[in-house]
Structure 1
Amino acid sequence: MSDSEPLLGWLQNWYAQQCDGDWEHEGAVKIATLDNPGWSIEIDLEKTEMEGREFPRRDVHRSPRDWVRAWTAENTFHAACGLGNLAEALTLFRNWATADA
Structure 2
Amino acid sequence: MALPVPSVDEYFEFLASWYVAHCDGEWEHEFGVRIETVDNPGWNLRVDIIGTEMEGRIATRGRREFEGGGWLIVESDGRSFEASCDAMSLRLAVQEFKKFVDTE
TM-score bracket for this pair, using the shorter chain length: 0.7 to 0.9
The separation in 1 between residues aligned to 2:33 and 2:102, in whole angstroms, is 17
> What's the TM-score once normalised by structure 2's chain length?
0.84
The separation in 1 between residues aligned to 2:10 and 2:94, in whole angstroms, is 11
Q: Which structure's residues are more often helix, by fraction? A: 2
SS in 1 for 2:58: coil
Match of 2:53 in 1: 49
SS in 1 for 2:29: helix
The number of equivalent residue pairs is 98
- Select the residue among 77, 89, 93 that pairs with 2:93: 89
The separation in 2 between residues aligned to 1:71 and 1:49, in whole angstroms, is 17
The higher relative CO (CA closer than 8 Å, separation ≥ 6) is in: 2
- Structure 1: 5+ residue stretches without partners: none
> What's the TM-score once normalised by structure 1's chain length?
0.86
Matches within 5 A, 1:59-98: 59-62=63-66, 65-73=69-77, 75-98=79-102
Q: What's the offset of the Cα at 1:61?
A: 2.2
